[in-house]
Structure 1
Amino acid sequence: AVFHLQHVITAAGGKIFATSGKRADFQTTRKTCKKAGGSIATPRNASENDAILHFVKRFGTYAYLGIRESLIPTKFQFLDGTPLSYTRWHSREPAGRGEEECVEMYTDGTWNDRKCYKNHLIVCQF
Protein backbone atom coordinates (compact mmCIF):
# COMPACT_ATOMS: atom_id res chain seq x y z
CA ALA A 1 0.00 0.00 0.00
CA VAL A 2 1.45 3.32 -1.05
CA PHE A 3 1.09 6.10 1.47
CA HIS A 4 -0.40 9.02 -0.44
CA LEU A 5 0.51 12.30 1.22
CA GLN A 6 -2.26 14.44 -0.19
CA HIS A 7 -1.99 17.00 2.57
CA VAL A 8 1.37 18.64 3.19
CA ILE A 9 2.35 21.59 5.38
CA THR A 10 5.73 23.13 6.11
CA ALA A 11 6.38 24.44 9.59
CA ALA A 12 8.51 27.50 10.28
CA GLY A 13 12.05 26.15 10.32
CA GLY A 14 11.45 23.92 7.33
CA LYS A 15 10.24 20.62 8.77
CA ILE A 16 7.57 19.12 6.52
CA PHE A 17 4.50 17.40 7.95
CA ALA A 18 2.12 15.31 5.86
CA THR A 19 -0.96 13.15 6.22
CA SER A 20 -3.02 10.84 4.03
CA GLY A 21 -6.09 11.49 6.15
CA LYS A 22 -6.09 7.82 7.16
CA ARG A 23 -6.01 6.52 10.74
CA ALA A 24 -3.94 3.84 12.45
CA ASP A 25 -2.57 2.81 15.82
CA PHE A 26 0.81 4.02 17.07
CA GLN A 27 2.97 1.16 15.71
CA THR A 28 1.27 1.19 12.30
CA THR A 29 1.68 4.96 12.12
CA ARG A 30 5.42 4.59 12.84
CA LYS A 31 5.77 1.89 10.17
CA THR A 32 3.72 3.84 7.62
CA CYS A 33 5.82 6.98 8.07
CA LYS A 34 9.06 4.99 7.90
CA LYS A 35 7.94 3.31 4.65
CA ALA A 36 7.22 6.75 3.21
CA GLY A 37 10.78 7.82 4.07
CA GLY A 38 9.88 9.90 7.10
CA SER A 39 8.99 9.41 10.74
CA ILE A 40 6.00 9.95 13.02
CA ALA A 41 5.22 13.64 13.61
CA THR A 42 7.24 14.96 16.55
CA PRO A 43 6.70 18.59 17.55
CA ARG A 44 9.86 20.17 18.95
CA ASN A 45 8.50 23.73 19.15
CA ALA A 46 5.23 25.69 18.98
CA SER A 47 5.42 26.17 15.21
CA GLU A 48 5.70 22.42 14.59
CA ASN A 49 2.93 21.74 17.11
CA ASP A 50 0.70 24.17 15.19
CA ALA A 51 1.50 22.47 11.87
CA ILE A 52 0.33 19.10 13.25
CA LEU A 53 -2.67 20.80 14.86
CA HIS A 54 -3.71 22.06 11.41
CA PHE A 55 -4.29 18.44 10.31
CA VAL A 56 -5.86 17.38 13.60
CA LYS A 57 -8.41 20.20 13.30
CA ARG A 58 -8.99 19.65 9.59
CA PHE A 59 -9.80 15.96 10.05
CA GLY A 60 -11.46 16.43 13.44
CA THR A 61 -9.51 13.62 15.05
CA TYR A 62 -6.52 13.14 17.36
CA ALA A 63 -3.02 12.18 16.20
CA TYR A 64 -0.24 10.22 17.88
CA LEU A 65 3.08 12.02 18.36
CA GLY A 66 6.65 10.70 18.28
CA ILE A 67 6.88 10.73 22.06
CA ARG A 68 6.77 7.80 24.49
CA GLU A 69 6.87 7.23 28.19
CA SER A 70 10.34 6.27 29.38
CA LEU A 71 11.02 3.43 31.81
CA ILE A 72 10.30 5.98 34.55
CA PRO A 73 6.49 6.40 34.74
CA THR A 74 5.23 9.92 33.90
CA LYS A 75 8.63 10.80 32.37
CA PHE A 76 8.21 11.13 28.61
CA GLN A 77 10.88 11.40 25.92
CA PHE A 78 11.31 11.62 22.17
CA LEU A 79 11.53 8.25 20.39
CA ASP A 80 15.30 8.65 20.03
CA GLY A 81 15.51 8.68 23.84
CA THR A 82 16.27 12.38 24.23
CA PRO A 83 14.34 14.35 26.87
CA LEU A 84 11.46 16.57 25.80
CA SER A 85 12.70 20.07 25.04
CA TYR A 86 9.16 21.26 24.29
CA THR A 87 5.83 20.17 25.78
CA ARG A 88 2.20 21.16 25.42
CA TRP A 89 0.47 18.92 27.96
CA HIS A 90 -3.24 19.36 28.60
CA SER A 91 -3.92 20.48 32.19
CA ARG A 92 -3.36 17.65 34.69
CA GLU A 93 -1.65 15.50 32.05
CA PRO A 94 0.26 13.22 31.75
CA ALA A 95 -1.81 11.16 34.20
CA GLY A 96 -1.46 7.54 33.04
CA ARG A 97 1.34 6.67 35.48
CA GLY A 98 2.91 3.97 33.32
CA GLU A 99 -0.40 2.69 31.93
CA GLU A 100 -0.52 5.08 28.96
CA GLU A 101 2.77 5.00 27.07
CA CYS A 102 1.87 6.96 23.95
CA VAL A 103 0.99 10.62 23.45
CA GLU A 104 -1.91 11.98 21.41
CA MET A 105 -2.66 15.52 20.31
CA TYR A 106 -6.14 16.85 21.08
CA THR A 107 -8.01 19.09 18.63
CA ASP A 108 -6.91 22.12 20.69
CA GLY A 109 -3.22 21.29 20.21
CA THR A 110 -2.60 20.06 23.75
CA TRP A 111 -1.21 16.62 24.54
CA ASN A 112 -2.52 13.67 26.52
CA ASP A 113 -0.87 10.38 27.40
CA ARG A 114 -2.85 7.48 25.98
CA LYS A 115 -2.68 3.76 25.31
CA CYS A 116 -1.09 2.98 21.94
CA TYR A 117 -3.82 0.93 20.24
CA LYS A 118 -6.29 3.70 19.34
CA ASN A 119 -6.79 4.57 15.67
CA HIS A 120 -5.60 8.14 15.22
CA LEU A 121 -4.75 10.33 12.24
CA ILE A 122 -1.45 9.33 10.61
CA VAL A 123 0.80 12.41 10.52
CA CYS A 124 4.40 12.01 9.34
CA GLN A 125 7.36 14.36 9.23
CA PHE A 126 10.15 14.68 6.67
Structure 2
Amino acid sequence: MHVLQVCKLVTLGITLVITMDPNLGKCEEISNTCAVISCGTHAHNGLPGRDGRDGKEGPKGEQGDVGLQGLRGLQGPPGKAGPTGPKGAKGPPGEKGQEGKSGLLDLEDLRTQFRALGGHMQTLQDNLEKQQKILLFLGGKKIGDKVLVTNGKEENFDAAKEKCTDAGGLLAAPRNEAENAAIQDLLQRDASQAFLGISDEHVEGLFKYVSGEQITFSNWNLGEPNNNKDAEDCVEILSDGKWNDIPCSLARLVICEF
Protein backbone atom coordinates (compact mmCIF):
# COMPACT_ATOMS: atom_id res chain seq x y z
CA MET A 1 0.00 0.00 0.00
CA HIS A 2 1.28 3.37 -0.88
CA VAL A 3 2.33 5.83 1.80
CA LEU A 4 -0.29 8.38 0.70
CA GLN A 5 -3.06 5.91 1.10
CA VAL A 6 -1.81 4.91 4.56
CA CYS A 7 -1.86 8.57 5.71
CA LYS A 8 -5.42 9.01 4.48
CA LEU A 9 -6.57 5.92 6.33
CA VAL A 10 -4.89 6.98 9.57
CA THR A 11 -6.36 10.49 9.36
CA LEU A 12 -9.83 9.14 8.69
CA GLY A 13 -9.56 6.80 11.67
CA ILE A 14 -8.55 9.60 14.02
CA THR A 15 -11.42 11.75 12.81
CA LEU A 16 -13.91 8.95 13.46
CA VAL A 17 -12.54 8.33 16.93
CA ILE A 18 -12.78 12.05 17.84
CA THR A 19 -16.33 12.25 16.57
CA MET A 20 -17.40 9.25 18.66
CA ASP A 21 -15.57 10.35 21.83
CA PRO A 22 -15.29 14.13 22.32
CA ASN A 23 -12.86 13.72 25.22
CA LEU A 24 -10.27 12.43 22.78
CA GLY A 25 -10.54 15.48 20.50
CA LYS A 26 -8.09 17.79 22.19
CA CYS A 27 -6.14 20.12 20.00
CA GLU A 28 -2.79 19.13 21.44
CA GLU A 29 -3.32 15.44 20.63
CA ILE A 30 -4.59 16.18 17.13
CA SER A 31 -1.72 18.48 16.48
CA ASN A 32 0.83 15.96 17.70
CA THR A 33 -0.73 13.22 15.69
CA CYS A 34 -0.98 15.36 12.61
CA ALA A 35 2.62 16.39 13.01
CA VAL A 36 3.70 12.78 12.93
CA ILE A 37 1.48 11.42 10.19
CA SER A 38 0.83 14.45 7.99
CA CYS A 39 2.16 13.61 4.58
CA GLY A 40 1.12 13.69 1.00
CA THR A 41 -1.47 16.02 -0.43
CA HIS A 42 -3.90 18.27 1.62
CA ALA A 43 -6.98 16.33 2.85
CA HIS A 44 -10.59 17.52 2.91
CA ASN A 45 -11.76 19.88 5.80
CA GLY A 46 -12.95 17.97 8.88
CA LEU A 47 -16.12 18.49 11.00
CA PRO A 48 -16.41 21.79 13.02
CA GLY A 49 -14.99 21.62 16.54
CA ARG A 50 -16.79 22.44 19.86
CA ASP A 51 -16.79 25.91 21.48
CA GLY A 52 -13.70 26.49 23.52
CA ARG A 53 -13.68 27.05 27.30
CA ASP A 54 -13.82 30.55 28.81
CA GLY A 55 -10.42 31.96 29.42
CA LYS A 56 -9.07 33.19 32.75
CA GLU A 57 -10.32 36.53 34.11
CA GLY A 58 -8.13 39.36 32.90
CA PRO A 59 -6.55 42.09 35.07
CA LYS A 60 -8.80 44.75 36.71
CA GLY A 61 -9.31 47.81 34.53
CA GLU A 62 -8.71 51.42 35.53
CA GLN A 63 -11.34 53.28 37.63
CA GLY A 64 -13.89 55.14 35.47
CA ASP A 65 -15.04 58.77 35.83
CA VAL A 66 -17.56 59.78 38.56
CA GLY A 67 -21.17 59.57 37.28
CA LEU A 68 -23.90 62.22 37.54
CA GLN A 69 -25.45 62.87 40.98
CA GLY A 70 -28.65 60.90 41.57
CA LEU A 71 -32.01 62.24 42.80
CA ARG A 72 -32.34 63.22 46.46
CA GLY A 73 -33.96 60.51 48.58
CA LEU A 74 -36.88 60.93 50.99
CA GLN A 75 -36.19 62.58 54.33
CA GLY A 76 -35.58 60.07 57.07
CA PRO A 77 -37.33 60.07 60.49
CA PRO A 78 -36.10 62.60 63.05
CA GLY A 79 -33.39 61.42 65.33
CA LYS A 80 -33.56 61.25 69.10
CA ALA A 81 -33.35 64.48 71.05
CA GLY A 82 -29.87 65.37 72.12
CA PRO A 83 -28.83 65.89 75.72
CA THR A 84 -29.81 69.09 77.54
CA GLY A 85 -27.20 71.79 77.23
CA PRO A 86 -25.43 73.24 80.20
CA LYS A 87 -27.26 75.84 82.31
CA GLY A 88 -26.36 79.40 81.43
CA ALA A 89 -24.76 81.80 83.82
CA LYS A 90 -27.02 83.88 86.10
CA GLY A 91 -27.69 87.35 84.71
CA PRO A 92 -27.11 90.59 86.59
CA PRO A 93 -29.91 91.80 88.96
CA GLY A 94 -32.45 94.21 87.48
CA GLU A 95 -33.19 97.72 88.61
CA LYS A 96 -35.12 98.15 91.83
CA GLY A 97 -38.79 98.93 91.30
CA GLN A 98 -40.84 101.64 92.92
CA GLU A 99 -41.96 101.03 96.46
CA GLY A 100 -45.51 99.72 96.61
CA LYS A 101 -48.31 101.04 98.75
CA SER A 102 -49.20 99.42 101.99
CA GLY A 103 -52.12 97.02 101.94
CA LEU A 104 -53.77 99.04 104.69
CA LEU A 105 -53.70 102.14 102.48
CA ASP A 106 -55.38 100.24 99.61
CA LEU A 107 -58.12 99.05 101.97
CA GLU A 108 -58.71 102.58 103.18
CA ASP A 109 -58.99 103.80 99.55
CA LEU A 110 -61.63 101.15 98.87
CA ARG A 111 -63.62 102.21 101.91
CA THR A 112 -63.52 105.81 100.74
CA GLN A 113 -64.74 104.82 97.27
CA PHE A 114 -67.58 102.77 98.76
CA ARG A 115 -68.67 105.67 100.92
CA ALA A 116 -68.68 107.94 97.86
CA LEU A 117 -70.63 105.36 95.84
CA GLY A 118 -73.14 105.03 98.64
CA GLY A 119 -73.64 108.79 98.56
CA HIS A 120 -74.29 108.70 94.79
CA MET A 121 -76.77 105.85 95.19
CA GLN A 122 -78.64 107.76 97.87
CA THR A 123 -78.79 110.82 95.61
CA LEU A 124 -80.23 108.72 92.77
CA GLN A 125 -82.78 107.18 95.10
CA ASP A 126 -83.85 110.61 96.32
CA ASN A 127 -84.21 111.84 92.75
CA LEU A 128 -86.28 108.80 91.80
CA GLU A 129 -88.61 109.33 94.72
CA LYS A 130 -88.91 112.99 93.80
CA GLN A 131 -89.82 112.12 90.22
CA GLN A 132 -92.40 109.63 91.45
CA LYS A 133 -93.98 112.31 93.62
CA ILE A 134 -94.11 114.64 90.60
CA LEU A 135 -95.80 111.94 88.56
CA LEU A 136 -98.29 111.30 91.31
CA PHE A 137 -98.96 115.03 91.54
CA LEU A 138 -99.71 115.06 87.80
CA GLY A 139 -102.36 112.38 88.20
CA GLY A 140 -100.18 109.25 88.40
CA LYS A 141 -100.93 106.25 90.61
CA LYS A 142 -98.44 104.22 92.67
CA ILE A 143 -98.89 100.45 93.00
CA GLY A 144 -96.13 98.40 94.59
CA ASP A 145 -92.82 99.41 93.05
CA LYS A 146 -94.54 100.86 89.97
CA VAL A 147 -95.82 104.32 89.22
CA LEU A 148 -98.55 104.52 86.54
CA VAL A 149 -99.19 107.76 84.67
CA THR A 150 -101.04 108.87 81.55
CA ASN A 151 -100.49 111.85 79.25
CA GLY A 152 -104.23 111.97 78.48
CA LYS A 153 -103.63 111.39 74.75
CA GLU A 154 -104.73 108.58 72.44
CA GLU A 155 -102.22 106.97 70.03
CA ASN A 156 -101.91 103.79 68.00
CA PHE A 157 -99.94 100.93 69.58
CA ASP A 158 -96.50 101.74 68.11
CA ALA A 159 -96.80 105.46 68.92
CA ALA A 160 -97.95 104.68 72.46
CA LYS A 161 -94.95 102.40 73.02
CA GLU A 162 -92.61 105.08 71.70
CA LYS A 163 -94.07 107.77 74.00
CA CYS A 164 -93.49 105.61 77.07
CA THR A 165 -90.00 104.55 75.99
CA ASP A 166 -88.95 108.14 75.33
CA ALA A 167 -90.09 109.03 78.85
CA GLY A 168 -87.96 106.25 80.34
CA GLY A 169 -90.77 103.78 81.00
CA LEU A 170 -92.87 101.10 79.32
CA LEU A 171 -96.44 100.85 78.09
CA ALA A 172 -98.38 99.75 81.18
CA ALA A 173 -98.96 95.99 81.49
CA PRO A 174 -100.53 94.53 84.67
CA ARG A 175 -98.89 91.44 86.16
CA ASN A 176 -101.42 90.87 88.88
CA GLU A 177 -104.97 91.82 89.89
CA ALA A 178 -103.87 94.88 91.91
CA GLU A 179 -101.97 96.41 88.99
CA ASN A 180 -104.89 95.69 86.67
CA ALA A 181 -107.23 97.56 89.07
CA ALA A 182 -104.80 100.52 89.26
CA ILE A 183 -104.73 100.85 85.46
CA GLN A 184 -108.52 100.56 85.38
CA ASP A 185 -108.73 103.43 87.87
CA LEU A 186 -106.60 105.72 85.64
CA LEU A 187 -108.68 104.69 82.64
CA GLN A 188 -111.96 105.83 84.20
CA ARG A 189 -110.59 109.35 84.61
CA ASP A 190 -109.66 109.98 80.97
CA ALA A 191 -111.13 107.43 78.54
CA SER A 192 -113.02 104.17 78.26
CA GLN A 193 -110.18 102.08 76.73
CA ALA A 194 -106.37 102.10 76.90
CA PHE A 195 -103.62 100.03 75.29
CA LEU A 196 -101.78 97.50 77.42
CA GLY A 197 -98.12 96.70 76.80
CA ILE A 198 -99.06 93.23 75.53
CA SER A 199 -99.35 91.74 72.00
CA ASP A 200 -99.01 88.58 69.90
CA GLU A 201 -97.47 90.37 66.90
CA HIS A 202 -94.67 87.82 66.46
CA VAL A 203 -96.50 84.53 67.11
CA GLU A 204 -100.29 84.37 66.79
CA GLY A 205 -101.92 83.39 70.06
CA LEU A 206 -98.68 83.78 72.07
CA PHE A 207 -99.14 87.02 73.99
CA LYS A 208 -96.03 88.65 75.46
CA TYR A 209 -95.16 91.84 77.32
CA VAL A 210 -93.38 94.54 75.30
CA SER A 211 -90.26 93.58 77.31
CA GLY A 212 -90.33 90.17 75.52
CA GLU A 213 -91.54 87.96 78.39
CA GLN A 214 -94.56 85.71 78.08
CA ILE A 215 -97.53 87.05 80.09
CA THR A 216 -98.07 85.60 83.59
CA PHE A 217 -101.46 87.23 84.27
CA SER A 218 -104.55 87.83 82.11
CA ASN A 219 -108.10 89.15 82.50
CA TRP A 220 -109.75 88.42 79.14
CA ASN A 221 -113.35 89.35 78.43
CA LEU A 222 -115.74 86.50 77.62
CA GLY A 223 -114.88 84.96 74.23
CA GLU A 224 -111.59 86.85 73.95
CA PRO A 225 -109.06 86.85 72.45
CA ASN A 226 -110.71 85.88 69.16
CA ASN A 227 -108.36 87.50 66.61
CA ASN A 228 -111.34 88.82 64.63
CA LYS A 229 -110.68 88.84 60.87
CA ASP A 230 -107.15 87.64 61.65
CA ALA A 231 -106.13 91.25 62.37
CA GLU A 232 -106.17 91.66 66.16
CA ASP A 233 -102.66 91.47 67.59
CA CYS A 234 -102.84 94.15 70.34
CA VAL A 235 -104.66 94.30 73.67
CA GLU A 236 -106.89 97.00 75.23
CA ILE A 237 -108.21 97.26 78.76
CA LEU A 238 -111.88 98.29 79.10
CA SER A 239 -113.49 100.45 81.78
CA ASP A 240 -114.55 97.33 83.71
CA GLY A 241 -110.93 96.04 83.75
CA LYS A 242 -111.53 93.26 81.18
CA TRP A 243 -109.19 92.70 78.20
CA ASN A 244 -109.95 92.53 74.48
CA ASP A 245 -107.69 91.93 71.47
CA ILE A 246 -107.92 94.70 68.81
CA PRO A 247 -106.02 95.89 65.69
CA CYS A 248 -102.80 97.72 66.61
CA SER A 249 -103.71 100.57 64.25
CA LEU A 250 -106.57 101.81 66.45
CA ALA A 251 -106.04 104.77 68.80
CA ARG A 252 -106.28 104.18 72.56
CA LEU A 253 -105.26 106.08 75.70
CA VAL A 254 -101.54 105.97 76.54
CA ILE A 255 -100.71 104.78 80.07
CA CYS A 256 -97.03 104.30 80.99
CA GLU A 257 -95.42 102.51 83.92
CA PHE A 258 -92.17 103.53 85.63
Listed as ranges, the matches of 1:81-96 within 5 Å are 81-96=212-227
Judging changes above 3 Å, is the alpha-carbon distance between structure 1 residues 93 and 20 closer, same or farther for their aligned structure 2 residues? same
* Pairing partner for 2:153 from 2, 22, 25: 22
* 1:122 and 2:254 aligned: yes
Local SS of the residue matching 1:21: strand
- What's the counterpart of residue 171 of structure 2? 40
Normalised to the residue count of structure 2, the TM-score between the two structures is 0.45
Deviation at 1:56, TM superposition (A): 1.1
Local SS of the residue matching 2:162: helix
* Pairing partner for 1:10 from 142, 167, 170: 142
Deviation at 1:23, TM superposition (A): 1.0
Local SS of the residue matching 2:232: coil
Q: Deviations for 1:47-73, whole angstroms, at most 9, x for unmatched residues?
A: 111111011111232110111115432
Residue ranges of structure 1 left out of the alignment (5+ in a row):
none
Question: Stretches of 4+ moved more than 3 A in 1?
Answer: none
Residue ranges of structure 2 left out of the alignment (5+ in a row):
1-134
**Residue range with higher mean Cα deviation, 63-72 or 43-52:** 63-72
Listed as ranges, the matches of 1:48-59 within 5 Å are 48-59=179-190
For the pair shown, the structure with the greater C-alpha radius of gyration is: 2
Structure with higher helix content: 2
Normalised to the residue count of structure 1, the TM-score between the two structures is 0.88
Alpha-carbon separation, structure 2, partners of 1:70 and 1:123: 20
* 1:112 and 2:244 aligned: yes
Alpha-carbon separation, structure 2, partners of 1:14 and 1:119: 28
Judging changes above 3 Å, is the alpha-carbon distance between structure 1 residues 83 and 59 closer, same or farther for their aligned structure 2 residues? same
* 1:69 and 2:190 aligned: no
Structure with higher strand content: 1
Local SS of the residue matching 1:10: strand
Deviation at 1:81, TM superposition (A): 2.5
Q: Which amino acid aligns with 1:102?
A: C
Please say if residues 141 and 149 of structure 2, whose CA atoms lie closer than 8 Å, have aligned partners that are also in contact. yes
Local SS of the residue matching 1:31: helix
Query: How many residues of Structure 1 are paired with residues of Structure 2 in the alignment?
Result: 122
